Amino acid sequence: MDKDFTELQRFQSDNGDACLMRFDIKPLPKIQTVRQAFDGVLQFSYNLEISISDLIGDITIRENDDEDWDNSVAQHRLVTSIPPSTKVDMNNVTFTHYWGDGSGPHTDRAVGNEVGIAVCNYVQEDELYPYHVSERVRQDMTFHVMVAKYPRQHL
């Protein structure tokens, strides 16, 4: 687990949706604990509008500014503006959990008792923040992140 790995697939679904599937392994040699890495995942997730703007260079704003987030659940109601005039709607909920005592899920070859998981899925319908289908393109996203410690491979 010493090298970056990415697998990417792009395809069109039966109903015409453009789909992308991506699988990444990202070694973090400077991180000392799983908790540190998982906190980085949380920071990225809870500031998703800033993270997306930084990654793709377009402007993304959050339409829901809930300040009373439970640190294990967050809704992301985002709108990205892509020049010259395209707006993209995204509405996701992220669930996270960290286990530091060995009670969480176990994976082959993982070292130690720590594991963190983040799962994000799109919201199909939302009465508070409805999709603007006549004005914006809808983007649905689902992802799963698992953070665990693995031994370094010595060649």
Is the predicted pLDDT of residue 64 greater than 80, yes or no? no
- pLDDT, one tens digit per residue, over 36-45 is 999 998 888 8
CB atoms within 10 A of CB 51: 14
Collapsed DSSP state (helix, strand, coil) of residue 30: coil
Please state, for a pLDDT cut of 90, what percent of the chain lies above it: 50
pTM for the complete prediction?
Answer: 0.82
The span from the CA of 99 to the CA of 119, in Å, is 15
Buried-exposed string 104-138: b where 16+ CB fall within 10 A, e elsewhere: beeeeebeeebbbbbebeebeeeeeeebeeeebee
- 155, 124 in Cβ contact below 8 A? no
Mean pLDDT across the chain: 88
Local confidence band at 69 (pLDDT 50, 70, 90 cut-offs): low
What's the confidence (pLDDT) of residue 109?
A: 78
